[in-house]
Chains A and B, each alone.
Chain A
Amino acid sequence: MKSLLATLALSTALTIPALASAQPVTLKTTLNNYGGDGAYLALYVTDPSGAYAGSLWMAGGKSKYYEHLRDWYRATGGDPTQINGITGASVGAGRTLEITLDLADALFDAGYTLHIDAAVEDMRDSPNEVAVPLTTEGAGTPVPGRRYVSDFTYDM
């Protein structure tokens, strides 16, 4: 038991500094005037191997539509626990969604990529609308989207 406690104490000591090493990052997504309903947007991260690492935000509250965010859905199975506490309303055409999150420093300059999947009712699904490497150098530089997103910028 003592060795277990020692292991726990050690792992906690190693984990806490990593968690504390975080900073506010603002993710700004501006949509085109595509002339349809509000867009559902899934913002998520893949690790250096391209595997799903976790979600940062879901714009759109109804899980029945999540299958249209196809890459995100394929990675998560639409699991709502992936996005509990990081979900808001869908975003209207021409509007800008601005989210400020406390993100781990370890996400930057380490091969992680931020992706956005988009879907609009009665319109074509747009998985991987945006894919941008997370680097300190890339902060503040707008990245264009493919269909519904005019541009995406992260600031730190």
Chain B
Amino acid sequence: MRKILTALPLIALLPAGMALADDDYEKSSRGEGMSRDAVMQIARENGWTVHEIEMEDGRYEIEGRDRDGRKIEAKLDPATQRLITSDYDDDDEDDDDDDYGASARNPAPAGTVAPPKNGLFGDGAPPKVQVN
């Protein structure tokens, strides 16, 4: 996954307005996590237009565009408060997401539809999964 062209900690670059989210940061340092509003506030402070915020693997993932209109993907760890951004080239194929919708090309998760009829599966119990 070497798509990332730049990845830099932005926490030091955040403007003074960051103070607005201080309460949330204090909570996160106690392991209580951050609110989505606090994440949105950080995005606004950086001049980002946010298309999507989601929690993945315990981190916030923010997708949108930066001040210059470049597609941006940022991750924020609520526990460490570390923010990492990734810029994408304008001709990056990931931009297809804008044309088809952010999740239109993603597969249906297990439990929402039956497994594919590829001859490998029986017609019995649906898949069960757990991560230990």
Contact = CB atoms under 8 A, between A and B. Distances in A.
Interface residues of B, number: 36
Classify the interface of chain B: helix, strand, loop or mixed: loop
Contact of A54 (B107, B119, B124): B119
A102 interface: yes
B106 A80 contact: yes
A139 interface: no
Interface string B98-132: 00000001111111111110111111111111111
Contacts of B127: 57, 85-86, 99-102
B32 interface: no
Nearest to A28: B132
Contacts of B111: 85
B130 A54 contact: no
A45 B7 CA distance: 36
A83 B107 contact: yes
B89 to A, nearest CB: 14
A92 B56 CA distance: 11
A84 B129 CA distance: 15
A102 B106 contact: no
B22 interface: no
A37 B59 CA distance: 10
B70 to A, nearest CB: 16
A90 B56 CA distance: 9
A156 interface: no
Contacts of A102: 121-127
B118 A53 contact: yes
In this complex, which of A24, A95, A102, A106 has the most chain B Cβ atoms within 10 angstroms of its Cβ?
Answer: A102
B85 to A, nearest CB: 13
Interface residues of A, number: 53
Contact of A55 (B97, B116, B126): B116
Contacts of A21: 122
Nearest to B108: A84
A121 B125 contact: no
Interface in A77-103: 80-92, 95-103
B2 interface: yes
B122 A87 contact: no
B102 to A, nearest CB: 9
Contact of A63 (B107, B129, B131): B107
26 contacts: A19-B123, A22-B121, A22-B124, A23-B122, A37-B57, A53-B118, A54-B118, A54-B119, A56-B120, A57-B129, A61-B106, A64-B93, A64-B94, A81-B116, A83-B107, A87-B107, A88-B129, A89-B131, A90-B56, A98-B129, A102-B121, A102-B124, A103-B121, A104-B119, A104-B122, A122-B4
